[in-house]
A and B are shown apart, each in its own frame.
Chain A
Amino acid sequence: MGKHVLIMGLLMGAILLPSQTWPEELPALKSVHVELPSGDSQFPGGAGADAINNNCLACHSADMVLNQPALPRATWEAEVHKMINAYKAPIDNADIAPIVDYLARTKGTN
């Protein structure tokens, strides 16, 4: 009788909590210490890349930009202003035009 009640209880538990598992399966997590690749490559292009190298690489590696397709100049302008306005990139006003020029020159649709 008692055994039946126990079995019924287990069955009902299983029905009420279908995805619940048993305590002996609890994991033991281990502390983690890793190193991430630095991603400090520069944009190619010599002096013409100075503005983009000096302003953009603090927050993200160059490959993100180099992997972009050709886009209209207006799109690049909008991207640079999104970085400044939404993501608070500390870009000198004087560097905005050289950065947009670089992007339109190397990644433009024209």
Chain B
Amino acid sequence: MIDRDTGMGAMSLSRRRFLAQAGFAGLSLSATQAWAQAIVRLPLASDPRDRPITSEFPQKGALILQRTRPPLLETPLEVFDQGVFTPNDRFYVRWHWADIPTEIDVGTFRLAVRGHVNKVLSLSLNEIIRNLPQVELNAVNQCSGNSRGLFQPRVAGAQWANGAMGNAKWTGVRLKDVLDLAGVKAGAVQVRFNGLDEPVVPEAPDFMKSLDIDLARNGEVMIAYTMNGEQLPLLNGFPLRLIVPGWYSTYWVKMLNDIEVLDKPDDNYWMTTAYTIPDTPYANIKPGQTGVKMVPISRMVPRSFITNIADGASFPAGVKTLARGIAMGGDTGVAKVDFSADGGKSWQATRLGTDYGKYSFRQWETDFTLPERGAHSLMVRCTNSANVAQPSVPNWNGSGFMRNVIETTPVTAT
């Protein structure tokens, strides 16, 4: 109606809508980012904290845009409040190189198994699905650098808040069964995994990761062809993804198409330089400290999060309130989750939700009351079944890896 009155046509209406959206998203850089619809303010240690929310990636719903190309998409906190499994269209995305195939033909795709084996294989998806026993596992996939943006002093890299993680039911085949089909020769020490993604610059190191042969054959490591009962979104590694339960996501190679059994340790860049951590408790060093022995990152550690209360939320003092969230044990199950409404001075046990297996998220909930008006700190602490608890002091390393300090949610009682 306004347009008719002012004589503006449909073109200018859509132009104005576009400008309004771009302005709302805080994006004045370029018209090509007009697809961002809203912004989220992440609880990072310093600015910039605002990120666009995008729904413009294929097979994906609303996610936090950390980088457009190659995609880094973070899962918003509220998704973790909606259930213990992370929906495929909200599951975070992380790629190293921008040359990502955008077309996968399930008829012609092949998985190679080669190297130190008796028989080189080239397996079709049909052969993998039909000829090998199908297995299922619930497991958390978490980026090594999840929560990097909370590190102080700040470090370079993807500036994730806590959403570079997700939990899914993975269905597929055991890696061990695939290796047995090829027949691993005596003297094998590692197995190297490569996917279809490639660097834009051909001389750059292709992204490949390796596991020790015993881990590769432990019967738990698997090759998934579905995720939460559906084929994987392309950006989560369609058609096949390596699943290494309890280990950081760097090993969960996406678009897996090549398995090479090695008779000597892998010395490729992604094993020996990238994704290495200080060989110290909590991978912790002092900022600026040098001369520390570095080792490849491996097993995850316990973490827990409040998912129904955002940073800075306010509640009436003296009224009983529900706190709820998720926990993970890391490389083993969740034994208990404790909650504190007084900044860690006192702790109360929480009620744990259904146990979906030791590698899965587990929900927790508890009631609390803020006794008096003013600022309060809510905290949550997971202890895993190996009796490893989250520490009260944050770790630091130059790559921003393995954060697992007890997280604090500042709130106000009114």
Chain A positions near chain B (C-beta within 8 angstroms):
17, 19-21, 23, 25-27, 29-42, 44, 58-64, 66-71, 75, 79, 86-90
Contact = CB atoms under 8 A, between A and B. Distances in A.
A32 B273 contact: no
20 contacts: A17-B135, A21-B135, A21-B136, A25-B134, A29-B106, A33-B104, A41-B29, A58-B200, A59-B97, A60-B98, A61-B67, A64-B67, A64-B158, A69-B45, A69-B159, A70-B46, A71-B156, A79-B156, A87-B199, A88-B205
B24 interface: no
B58 A21 contact: no
Contacts, number: 144
A29 B32 contact: no
Contact of B70 (A23, A32, A42, A60): A60
Contacts of B97: 59
Interface of B: 29-30, 32-33, 35, 44-48, 51, 54, 56-59, 65-72, 97-98, 100, 102-107, 125, 129-130, 133-137, 149, 154, 156, 158-159, 171, 199-201, 203-205, 225-226, 231, 234, 238-239, 269, 273-274
B100 to A, nearest CB: 7
Given A41-B30, A59-B201, A32 B234 contact: yes
A90 B136 contact: no
A32 B30 contact: no
Nearest to A40: B32
A60 B48 contact: no
Contacts of A27: 129, 171, 225-226, 231
Nearest to B71: A36
Nearest to B239: A29
Contacts of B67: 39, 60-61, 63-64, 67
A4 B332 CA distance: 37
B399 to A, nearest CB: 12
A86 B205 contact: yes
A57 to B, nearest CB: 9
A86 B96 CA distance: 13
B57 A63 contact: no
B108 to A, nearest CB: 9
B133 A39 contact: no
Contacts of B107: 31
A101 B234 CA distance: 38
A68 to B, nearest CB: 6
Contacts of A44: 29
Residue among A19, A21, A62, A75 with the highest chain B CB neighbour number at 10 A: A19
Nearest to B231: A29
B129 A26 contact: yes
Contact of A61 (B58, B68, B105, B135): B68
B57 to A, nearest CB: 7
Contact of B273 (A63, A69, A79, A86): A86
A33 B102 contact: yes
